[in-house]
Amino acid sequence: MTTIVPTSEEDPSLAIVRFTSQLAWADAGPEVAEPQVSRLYREAEESIIDHRWLDLVTLMVTSADLVSTKISEKDLECTYTIICSLVKNVTSPEEVLEMVKAIASKVVQQPDDKASLRLKILFNLYNLLDHPNARFQVYMKALELAVNGKVTEYIVPSFKKIDSFLKDWSIDIKDQREVFLAIAKVLRENKSLAKESLQFVTKYLATFSNEDAQVLSEAKEEAVRAIVEFVKAPSIFQCDLLDMPAVAQLEKDPNDAPVYQLLKIFLTQRLDAYMKFQNANPEFLETYGLAEEDCVAKMRLLSLVDLASDETGKISYASLKNTLQVNEEEVELWVVKAITAKLVDCKMDQMNQVVIVSRCAERDFGQKQWQSLRTKLAAWRDNITNVISTIQANKVTEEATQATSGNQGLAGR
């Protein structure tokens, strides 16, 4: 196989042009190939002399793309390393951006060929750049390549830094939405990352606040998808979707109102409400790819949480049996399932047939929950203040007692 061997006298970019063009025209025969190779080489030389770096990059990536399937990973990486390095020759942000678009668009064009290496090339290009918008464009192409090339595992770790990236890029709300949706699409490729996928869809939906109805309507599809993902996920029992304007708009849409109603049931109501909903909408679950058995199981756990949130801290077995719509012998099984899912901390008093709850999860953390938290923190603050006051008072009393005892001792002498 032909390998790149640049000489000390030849510019690395020209060596790449010679290598790729010779390989691209190899099957045409010497009489056709040699003039074409010479023409491309001459164009590259002229671009270097005139500092037309965008033209040079365009020429190089076109040739590199034509031969990418014919060369080794090492040669492809070397080729793009030299191509990417050309962005350092330019100071104009606009020209850098155009060069980046030219490179990145070719790198992602054949995702089935050396996908992990292509992703590495984009990462290397990203690290060469100083311009925030150019970095953003490269990252978006990397997300696209990760999905199409089925190499999402290499980009998922970067999602932990996304808040830092957004700050560095200084992009507007529209671009932020694009990022959140692209990341959610990557995460959907892995079923074990359903929770993380929902988090980024939620971030996307949270960017819509006081927009008019037309702008909000852009989020309808993702709002429906988020609700379905939440309902379908067996290990996600809490979300912040209910009060978001992008989600709440569904309630007024005749086509999407049932989806919003289902979310409301899963976050605020019990199994009996779900059963009524299902009976009234018999084809709903199938339409959205939901399984009735899974929905009932999740609603039983959420109904148990609702019972556990009672301030008395006790749930009778009879109440559990009726609310969960299970046989008496299944009551403890569902309590154990709730404990395993970390929805409740409790003890089962079999003799008295009650469950004693010490902690339970919140199904929805909205205004009511914030107010409750505020009240608890205020009470905690007051208790701490009282404890400090008591300690200080005891300290003063103790010091006074010691002083009195000392004075009495001196008087005795």
């609603």: which residue's tokens? 299
Q: Are 201 and 181 in contact (CB under 8 A)?
A: yes
pLDDT at 2 (0 to 100): 47
- Residue 28: DSSP 8-state: G
Q: pLDDT tens, position by position, for the chain (413 residues)?
A: 445 444 457 789 999 999 999 988 887 777 787 888 899 999 999 999 999 999 999 999 999 998 988 899 999 999 999 999 999 999 899 999 999 999 999 999 999 999 999 999 999 999 999 999 999 999 999 999 999 999 999 999 999 999 999 999 999 999 999 999 999 999 998 888 999 999 999 999 999 987 778 889 999 999 999 999 999 999 999 999 999 999 999 999 999 999 999 999 999 999 999 999 999 999 999 999 999 999 999 999 999 999 998 767 899 999 999 999 999 999 999 999 999 999 999 999 999 999 999 999 887 655 555 565 567 677 778 788 888 888 887 777 777 676 666 555 545 54
Tell me the C-alpha distance between 45 and 238, whole Å.
Answer: 61
Tell me the C-alpha distance between 137 and 169, whole Å.
Answer: 10
The domains found in the chain, sorted by start residue, are 307-360 (1.10.10.10)
Of 306, 307, 284, nearest in space to 295 by CA: 284
pLDDT at 363 (0 to 100): 79
Over the range 104-127, which residues count as b (16 or more CB within 10 Å of their CB) and which as e? bebbbebbeebbebbbbbbbebbe
pLDDT at 3 (0 to 100): 52
């988020």: which residue's tokens? 226
Q: Are 143 and 108 in contact (CB under 8 A)?
A: no
Dihedral angle sign, alpha carbons of residues 298, 304, 305, 307: positive
Tell me the C-alpha distance between 232 and 239, whole Å.
Answer: 13
Strand arrangement of the beta sheet that strand 354-360 belongs to:
314-316, 354-360, 344-349
What's the chain's length in residues?
A: 413
Sorted by sequence, the CB contacts under 8 Å of residue 249 that are 6+ apart come out as: 213, 216, 217, 219, 220, 223
Sorted by sequence, the CB contacts under 8 Å of residue 354 that are 6+ apart come out as: 314, 315, 316, 317
pLDDT at 10 (0 to 100): 78
R_g of the chain computed on alpha carbons = 33
Dihedral angle sign, alpha carbons of residues 310, 312, 318, 320: positive
pLDDT at 301 (0 to 100): 97
pLDDT at 157 (0 to 100): 95
